[in-house]
């Protein structure tokens, strides 16, 4: 239910069309999203273990981020378990692994070169 006639929306799409980097950054800037990726990479592959690992995340945000990551094919969702209570497992895709590597580079940069004023 996003308002499609606002300048806010117009400018965002303008920038996303100018360069997909903006689209990627918008995705990455969703709170917890990269942490969810990294946590899956480390082996926390279920909703409940992710929730436990990322202490302060709330259910609906975790669900949303998992959905976003899946839609962008950065993770793979596997629900062929036919168990009750239901069981779903997530793994990183190849694209997800590549992105994770790139982010490691950015992380190193931010730790060694950036200055963040208080």
Buried b (16+ CB within 10 A) or exposed e, 65-95: bbeebeebebbeeeeeeeeeeeeeebebbee
Q: Which residues bind a copy of itself (CB under 8 A)?
A: 7, 10-12, 14-15, 18-26, 28-29, 31-32, 34-35, 56-57, 71-73, 95, 98-99, 102-103, 105-107, 109-111, 113-117
Cis previous bond, 40, omega within 30: no
- Closest distance to a copy of itself from the beta carbon of 4 (Å): 13
The footprint of DNA on residues 53-112 (CB under 7 A) is: 56-61, 63-64, 66-67, 77, 84-89
Rank residues 85 and 105 by Cβ distance to a copy of itself and give the closer one: 105
Long-range contacts of 83-89 (CB under 8 A, 24+ apart): 87/46, 88/46, 88/47, 89/45, 89/46
Exposure of 22 by Cβ count < 10 A (0-12 exposed, 13-18 middle, 19+ buried)? middle
Q: Which does 118 bind (CB under 5 to 8 A by kind): a copy of itself, DNA, none?
A: none
Residue 18 contacts DNA per CB under 7 A: no
Chain residues in the site for DNA (CB under 7 A): 2-3, 5-9, 11-12, 29-32, 46-49, 56-61, 63-64, 66-67, 77, 84-89
């Amino acid at each position: 239910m996003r308002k499609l006639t606002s300048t806010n929306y117009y400018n965002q799409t303008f920038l996303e069309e100018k360069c997909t980097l903006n689209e990627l950054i918008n995705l990455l800037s969703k709170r917890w999203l990269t942490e969810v990726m990294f946590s899956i990479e480390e082996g926390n592959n279920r909703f409940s273990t992710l929730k436990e690992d990322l202490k302060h995340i709330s259910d609906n945000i975790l669900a949303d981020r998992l959905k976003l990551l899946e839609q962008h094919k950065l993770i793979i969702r596997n629900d062929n378990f036919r168990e009750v209570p239901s069981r779903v497992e997530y793994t990183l895709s190849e694209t997800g692994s590549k992105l994770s590597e790139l982010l490691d580079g950015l992380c190193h940069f931010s730790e060694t070169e950036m200055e963040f004023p208080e």
